[in-house]
Amino acid sequence: MKTSEIAPGDEVHRGNPVTVDRYTAAARVNHWITATSLVLLALSGLALFHPSLFFLTGLFGGGGLTRMIHPWIGVVLFFAFVGLFLRFWRLNLWKSEDGTWMAKLRDVIAGHDENLPEVGKYNAGQKMVFWLMSILIVILISSGFAIWDQYFSEYTTIDQKRVAVLIHAVAAVVIICVWIVHVYAAIWVRGTISAMTRGQVTGGWAWRHHRKWLRELVTSKR
Amino acid sequence: MTNSWTDIKNTDLVVIMGGNAAEAHPCGFKWVTEAKANRGAKLVVVDPRYTRSAAVSDMYAPIRQGTDIAFLLGVINYCMQNDKVQWDYVKTFTNAPYLVKEGFTYKDGLFTGYDESKRDYNRSTWDIELGPDGFVVADDTLQNPRCVWNLLKAHVAQYTPDMVSRICGTPKDKFVKVCEMIAETSAKNKTMTSMYALGWTQHSKGSQNIRCMAMLQLILGNIGVRGGGMNALRGHSNIQGLTDIGLMSNLIPGYLTIPTERETSFDTYMSSRGFKPLRPNQMSYWQNYKKFFVSFQKAMWGSAATAENSFAYDYLPKLDVPAYDVLRAFELMHQGKMNGYFCQGFNPLMSFPNKKKLTAGLSKLKFLVTMDPLETETARFWENHGEFNDVDPSKIQTEVIQLPSTCFAEDEGSTTNSGRWLQWHWAGGTPPAEAKADTWIMAQIHLRLKALYQKEGGAFADPILKLDWQYKNAGEPTPEELAKELSGKVLETVTDPSDSTKVLLEKGKQVVNFATLRDDGSTACGCWIYSGCFNPAGNNMARRDNSDPDETGAYSKWAYSWPANRRILYNRASADINGKAWDPSRKLIEWDGAKWAGYDVPDIAPGAKPDVVGPFIMNPEGTARLFTRGMLRDGPFPVHYEPFESPIANPVAPKVRGNPVARVFKGDMEQFGDSKEFPYAATSYRLTEHFHFWTKHVQSNAAMQPEFFVEISEQLAKEKGVKSGGWVRVWSKRGSIKAKAVVTKRIVPLQCDGKTVHIVGIPLHWGFTGAAKKGFGPNMLTPYVGDANIETPEYKAFLVDIEALAGPVA
Amino acid sequence: MFPPIPNPSTKPATPKFGEQDLMRRSASSVTPPAQRQTEVAKLIDVSKCIGCKACQTACLEWNDLREEIGVNHGVYDNPLDLTPASWTVMRFNEWVNPETNNLEWLIRKDGCMHCEDPGCLKACPAPGAIVQYTNGIVDFVRENCIGCGYCVKGCPFNIPRISKVDAKAYKCSLCSDRVAVGQGPACAKACPTQAIVFGTKEEMKKHADGRIKDLKSRGYKNAGLYDPPGVGGTHVMYVLHHADQPQLYSGLAKNPTISPIVEIWKGLTKYAGLAAIGAFAAIGLLHHVVSGPNRVSSEDEQNAKRLAEGGSR
């Protein structure tokens, strides 16, 4: 059986150009809460990660407040991401065409979408971002709790904390890199950002990057 | 202390037994670490518990509490059997060669003359034989079977290592090892110091515990020498001062005694205090008794004390009992015979045994006055504190008046340390709120009483009305005025009898020291042994020169050491019969052919010839006593008696329970438990984190040791299912307590007389007032009996039972 | 007797060291002064220690700290562990020496070791929250502390504690305020047996030699000095009767070093992490410059329109 590539709210609107509803308002709000949290976490985290970035604590009202706020933002991010996860996980399941897509990474990078297989709502790259984010956030929140000494210091040993702090740092670096990929992709692939701002993309964008998704939307509408 | 704290650094062997210097006297213990670090001295600790002293010792031997005499007599036996005796010392400086009166015997734990109904001895045979010349009869060859040495030898013979181990539970090999270490110090160039405290005094035979070690030290030649001595570690910064000043019902300052009711006249009083020498040419220093006594009377009553009225002898109270000690006082309260009580710097509700009886006694008083810087339990005995002080205030009619006083850091004056040093101190702060100096409080009471007597009259008001009270401010004598009064002054100018122009003593001046006191009323001195502390040279107690020529540890220019700034008592005994130091490296004073001189003030007349005058000048014999004559109530030699509550019968005298002459009040005998009902041997003690019941009021000390606990061995914990840090109940015949349990390897079960004896350790320090967690005191459990001679309660050995408790105490 | 440090003068004195004598400063780079001050050290002679806790109370008093009144835990240790108020605690261990079958009560004063290579300082992200003076004292500067607890993770001895009250890290300062005016630490001043002495590191090592000789003469053949090289030596050292088994003393680390995890975290990760982030950003930028944006063509739009209107397959 063929699984649907459509999420609730996805809809094609005829017109010139054709527009496609990609994200509902709720999904967008959810995304931006997550995004803001992640940025703030990155800034506050980096401030405590490398002395040369300690000045960033100024954004949060000083070192002490940065230390205090960071984990709470993490909690916000976690729950926000749980929302995203519940919305998106199904369409991010790995499909056969994703392997083919990945195999043609050179074409992906070169922007030769025409050489790529038709993909559903998400391509393999987006799926990888999604799953990496999911895994990393779980890693970050759990390692974060282990070093959130203000409330949880007695639940872990110092050795565990040391491992946790290293994992937290590495995971944070990785998630920032993933985030860079995510943001860059959104910028590079023009027409993407509107999906998360207005909730819509053009039909051409969908045709070019997510043709399978578009086809299914059109079909389902008939 | 015969020696001083600083002198301990000169020793070769420190024996801590009957004390726990590292924990209870950490600052003085410094000198033990000095001896260890710089002289390679060894430290031996003998204690029922592996204490913090034991933690830094070279040798630790466990002992069952209350068996110290057996242990020490065993050591004496070892030394005698193995020829570890400082023979020259024993033969010339002790009464070893003297013959004991015919008729004196010892059998089955009792000496001649025991009367069971009176719990007392007729001590007439306990004496040295005197010749027709009134002098002692001696056998310098030590051959006569009736000489002290041979009687002692026979007396200690049964305390073999096996017997000691059987009584004390000390493993035999450890006992023998301790014997070997101690015996080594019989060499002339080796010394041992004995450091002891309440671990020896708080027994029904406390005096004999100490005597026993004193005898051993004499046999080893360790008294009067640097690094030797009998060193009583006093528990309170000024408790030495308390006894010196005679704050006991039967004493006058300077260890003079209050008359008994049989001594109705001054002459009868003096007739038994003549102290005629018992050997030719001896100093017998108590011959000066009258000078000290008369000077004291003059200090008390000034011009009202005249030769005509026997220096106001009648003003002194006369004792109808041996002493009104604290145990007796509470017994009298309990009987309703004492109805007012002044309690100054004292917390008897926590410090004396059988709290239930104490509370009952205090509840029968008409009034109780407490003078204390702290809110003591005694002052609040009527207040309900749940199970910690379960009383019904509505049933108690005692009027309690709390007078807040200053603490030591808020007033000026001197304290006397264990080493007899009078050290002046200055106020470091101002007293809070309404707190007043004790001297102010007492002066005010005196003035008001005097006014009442003047107004209303009363029976025999003279001792109060005529009390000499010439202070600048009658309402508050200054510490300096009081110190000067204790040191003494000249009342009438005294001139040289042969040359009347030569003034010996000038009226109004402070006396130099007690050597200038006179028995004709021309001098006044409040406490003869303190005489000289504030003399024409000024306040000697305030001296702070820490120079110490040749590093002998004397520090002669630091403060003032009674008597006469002497740092080591009996220091004449540091030199042989010719006046040469036994150990040249430890020279103290020597005879230079004409006089005694050296690092310390000689404890003998400067011109006293060494081969004529004996070193123990306070004794009429001039020698030290291995046989104590009739001075102690419970025997001229110590005997091992079990505590009144003991896990085993006395192996050397199975029929005798406890000390046969210890005073037991009616009703208290029934309050003793036996080992069937209470199988475990308990002991009480102090911890270094706290000072008695004071520091639980201090936040930081309370944090160091916050909560009451008891200590037991891992074996007993296993038997009873007790977990470390869990709760237990401990109870004796007299009461019950709850505490946290500290399960430790530091306490081990001992094998005594074929029986396993478990030890339960119960520290004090907690009560129901203060900052620390509320807790019980061991005195809920301890028996109401004291030492046979001085009535110090038997706190160190009693019986209890123990069980694990499930839940926390309320 | 180790010569005691004379009592202080009542006259004001200029501090012997200060800001200009820093050789390390957390999360910042400092140029150490050309001349290093004489290294100081505190020597704790465990064999002289009677566990009286005078050092603990002196520490509370001098530093004006209030430790809470706890409970008995079935041991003599109180408080049971270091706290933000108790910068030093006595640790008691009952050990039966298998060689002699005798009980030994090993009592150790625990507290900051003032490592020559301080792990706390290495881990600290807040500039100037932890400083090391050229005399070896490692000090926490409260104003700069952000309470992150990284020092706890960096410390090989488990010393710093974070206050629940003000969320700042606390530990022994080696009484830097007293040392600066020629005094020894309060604990050394209070120690009745001179189990704690203070002086230059050289003096302390020499004093320790004498103590070790004495201990060896008493049969402690493994007596020795604890000055662990793994952290570059320490400015608080121990004389131990069993220097071969420091762990007997309530878990004193045998070969303490800054945890390799912390080294990786504060070393490789710190640099590699920033490099990776930078690299990703740079590659993105480069990619954009080289390949330009991926635009939707009008053809795509047409295709979409056709599809939407049902035209195309």
Above 60 in pLDDT, residue A92? yes
Could you tell me where the beta strands, DSSP code E, fall in B176-324?
192-196, 230-232, 251-252, 256-257
Q: CB A51 to CB C310 under 8 A?
A: no
Q: ipTM of the predicted structure?
A: 0.93
Which pLDDT value is given to residue C6? 82
Least confident of A82-91, B272-281, B758-767, C62-71: B272-281
pLDDT at C312: 44
Q: Which of B700, B743, B772 sits opposite C67 (nearest CB)?
A: B700
Distances (CA, A) of B311 to B59, B475, B507, B519: 56, 26, 19, 10
Q: What tokens appear for B619 in the block?
A: 């004794």
What's the pLDDT tens digit per position in C195-209? 999 999 999 999 999
pLDDT band at A2 (very low <50, low <70, confident <90, very high): low
Q: Is the pLDDT of residue A45 over 80?
A: yes
Which among C158, C299, C310 has the least Cβ separation from residue A158? C158
Residues B184, B511: Cα–Cα separation, whole Å: 45
**CA distances, B609 to each of B87, B96, B594, B647, C48 (Å):** 21, 22, 8, 53, 45
> pTM for this structure?
0.93
Kindly state the average pLDDT of the residues A73-94.
Answer: 96
Find the closest chain B residue to C192 by CA distance: B27
Q: Compare all CA atoms of chain C with the CA of A189 and give the residue at the minimum distance.
A: C294
Contact B707 C54 (CB under 8 A): no
The distance in angstroms from the start CA to the end CA of chain C is 102
End-to-end CA distance of chain B: 45
The answer to whether C28 faces chain A, any CB pair under 8 Å, is yes
User: Which whole-number Å values give the CA distances from B734 to A78, B348, B664, B799, C58, in the listed order?
Assistant: 65, 17, 15, 10, 40
Q: Do B773 and C69 touch (CB under 8 A)?
A: yes
DSSP state of B319: B
Where does the pLDDT of residue B810 fall: very low under 50, low under 70, confident under 90, or very high at 90 and above? very low
Confidence of residue C13 (pLDDT cuts 50, 70, 90): confident
User: Which alpha helices (DSSP H) does B335-478 contain, by range?
Assistant: 348-351, 355-363, 438-456, 462-465
Distance from CA of C36 to the nearest CA of A (A): 25
Quick check: is A210 catalytic?
A: no
Taking an 8 Å cut-off on Cβ atoms, the answer to whether C75 and B26 are in contact is: no
Outline where B478-529 has alpha helix (H). 479-487
- Note the pLDDT of residue C313: 44
Chain B residues 115-154 with a CB less than 8 Å from chain C? none
pLDDT tens per residue, range A108-159? 998 898 899 999 999 999 999 999 999 999 999 999 999 999 899 899 999 9
B809 pLDDT higher than 60? no
Mean pLDDT of the region A88-102: 93
User: Collapsing DSSP states into helix, strand and coil, what is residue A199?
Assistant: coil
Are A184 and C298 a contacting pair at CB < 8 A?
Answer: no
Q: What is the C-alpha separation between C39 and B621, in angstroms, rounded?
A: 63
Chain A segment 57-96 residues within 8 A of C by beta carbon are: 57, 62-64, 66-68
In this complex, does chain A touch chain C, defined as having at least 3 beta-carbon pairs under 8 Å apart? yes
What are the backbone dihedrals phi and psi of residue B99, each rounded to the nearest 5 degrees, phi first?
-90, 140
Q: Enumerate neighbours of A (3 or more CB pairs within 8 A).
A: C
The pLDDT value given to residue B291: 97
Give the list of residues 6+ apart from residue C63 with CB closer than 8 angstroms, or none: C87, C173, C186
Q: Could you report the per-residue pLDDT of C85-121, keeping only the tens digit for each? A: 999 999 999 999 999 999 999 999 999 999 999 999 9
- Which token pair is B133? 């010349």
How confident is the model over B198-245, as pLDDT tens digits?
A: 999 999 999 999 999 999 999 999 999 999 999 999 988 899 999 999
Q: Calculate what percentage of chain C has a pLDDT beyond 70.
A: 99
d(CA C200, nearest CA chain B) in Å: 21
User: Of B531, B359, B345, nearest to B438 (Cα)?
Assistant: B345
The secondary structure of chain A in percent helix, strand, coil, rounded to multiples of 5, reads 75, 5, 20
**Cα nearest neighbour of A157 on chain C:** C153
Asked if A159 lies within 8 A of C304 by C-beta distance, the reply is no
Could you give the C-alpha distances from C120 to B668, C110, C124, C130, C153, in angstroms and in order?
64, 16, 6, 8, 7
| In the predicted structure, residue A1 carries a pLDDT above the cut 80 | no
Residue B434 has pLDDT above 90, yes or no: yes
Q: How confident is the model at residue A15 (pLDDT cuts 50, 70, 90)?
A: confident
Question: Which DSSP state fits B435?
Answer: -
Beta carbons of B522 and B490 less than 8 angstroms apart: yes
Contact across the interface for B23 and C50, Cβ inside 8 Å: yes
Residue with token string 């976690």:
A78
Contact A48 C148 (CB under 8 A): yes
Environment class of B221 (CB within 10 Å of its CB; exposed 0-12, middle 13-18, buried 19+): buried
Query: In chain C, where are the structural domains located?
Result: 19-258, 264-308
Q: Which helix (H) or strand (E) element contains residue A66?
A: helix A63-88
At residue B306, what are phi and psi to the nearest 5 degrees?
-125, 165
Residue A145, Ramachandran bin (φ over 0: left; ψ between -120 and 50: alpha; else beta)? alpha
The CA distance from B337 to B365, in Å, is: 9
3-state secondary structure of A93: coil
Q: Return the CATH number of the domain spanning residue range C19-258.
A: 3.30.70.20
Q: E strands along chain C, which residues?
A: 22-25, 40-45, 89-96, 103-110, 130-133, 138-140, 161-162, 169-170, 196-200, 224-226, 236-240
C-alpha A76 chain-centroid distance: 15
Task: With a cut of 70, say whether residue B416 has pLDDT above it.
Answer: yes
Say if CB A58 and CB A93 are below 8 A apart.
no
Among A140, A162, A221, the residue to mutate for chain C (most C Cβ within 10 A)? A162
Helix B206-219 crosses helix B68-81 at what angle (to 10 degrees)? 20
- Mean pLDDT to the nearest integer, B461-468: 96
DSSP B659-722: -TTS---TTTGGG---TTT--EEEEEE--TT--TTTGGGSHHHHHHS-S-EEEEEHHHHHHHTP
Q: Measured between alpha carbons, how far is B339 from B329 in angstroms, rounded to an integer?
A: 10
Q: Is the distance from CB of B772 to CB of B393 less than 8 angstroms?
A: no
Task: For residue A109, give the amino acid letter.
Answer: I
User: Per mean pLDDT, which range of B379-388, B693-702, B797-806, C4-13 is the poorest?
Assistant: C4-13
- Whether residue B679 contacts residue B803, with contact meaning beta carbons closer than 8 Å, is answered with no
How far is C153 from A165, CA to CA, in rounded Å?
9
Q: For helices B68-81 and B148-156, what crossing angle results, to 10°?
A: 120
pLDDT at B778 over 50: yes
CATH architecture of residue range(s) B669-805: Beta Barrel (2.40)
Interface of B with C in 528-587 (CB under 8 A): none
Neighbours of C190 (CB within 10 A): 20
First to last CA, chain A: 20
Taking an 8 Å cut-off on Cβ atoms, the answer to whether C107 and B52 are in contact is yes
For residues B531 and B518, give the distance between their C-alpha atoms in angstroms, rounded to a whole number.
Answer: 13
Local structure of residue B209 (DSSP, 8 states): H
C-alpha B374/C-alpha B383 separation (Å) is 16
Residues B217, B228 contacting (CB under 8 angstroms): yes
Q: What is the DSSP string of B569-613?
A: TTGGGGB-TTS-BSSGGG--EEE-SS-EEESS--SS-TT--TTTS
Question: A11 to chain C: nearest residue by CA?
Answer: C308
**B407 CB-side CA count, 13 A:** 11
Domain boundaries, chain B: 6-235, 669-805
pLDDT, residue B473, reads 97
How far apart, in whole angstroms, are the C-alpha atoms of residue C266 and residue A42?
Answer: 18
User: Which candidate in C43, C44, C53 is best for mutational testing of the B interface (most B CBs within 10 A)?
Assistant: C53
d(CA A27, CA C39): 62
Distance CA C181, CA C17 (A): 9
Which H/E stretch holds residue C212?
Answer: helix C201-217
Separation between Cα atoms, residue C279 and residue B255, nearest integer Å: 93
- Residue B442 touches chain C, beta carbons under 8 Å: no
Tokens linked to B564: 């006469």
Query: Looking at chain C, which subunits does it touch, using at least 3 CB pairs closer than 8 Å as the criterion?
Result: A, B
Residues present in chain B in total: 810
Distance from CA of B690 to the nearest CA of C (A): 10
The mean pLDDT of chain B is 96
Cα maximum dimension of chain C = 105
CATH number belonging to domain A25-176: 1.20.950.20
| pLDDT above 70 as % of chain A | 98
Q: What confidence tens digit (pLDDT) does each residue in C218-246 have?
A: 999 999 999 999 999 999 999 999 999 99
8 Å CB contact between B4 and B561: yes
Tell me which chain C residues have a C-beta less than 8 angstroms from the C-beta of B688. Answer: 50-53
A64–C284 C-beta distance less than 8 A: no
- Give the model confidence (pLDDT) of B159-197 as tens digits: 999 999 999 999 999 999 999 999 999 999 999 999 999
Which residues of chain A make contact with C153, given a CB cutoff of 8 A? 147, 158, 161-162, 165
Q: Which of A31, A182, A209, A210 is catalytic?
A: A182
Distance of residue C61 Cα from the nearest chain B Cα, in angstroms: 8
Residue C177 reports pLDDT greater than 70 = yes
Q: Write the single-letter amino acid at C277.
A: I
How many contacts does A have with C, using Cβ atoms within 8 A?
Answer: 170
Quote the DSSP letter at residue C167: -
Whether A164 contacts C264, CB under 8 Å: no
User: What is the predicted pLDDT for the residue at A220?
Assistant: 84
Residue C50 touches chain B, beta carbons under 8 Å: yes
CATH topology of domain B6-235: Dimethylsulfoxide Reductase; domain 2 (3.40.228)
Q: Which residues of B touch C78 (CB under 8 A)?
A: 689, 703-706
pLDDT at A173 over 90: yes
CB contact residues (below 8 A), chain B span 443-502, against chain C: none
CA B778 to chain centre: 21
DSSP B637: S
Split at pLDDT 50, 70, 90, the class of A3 is low
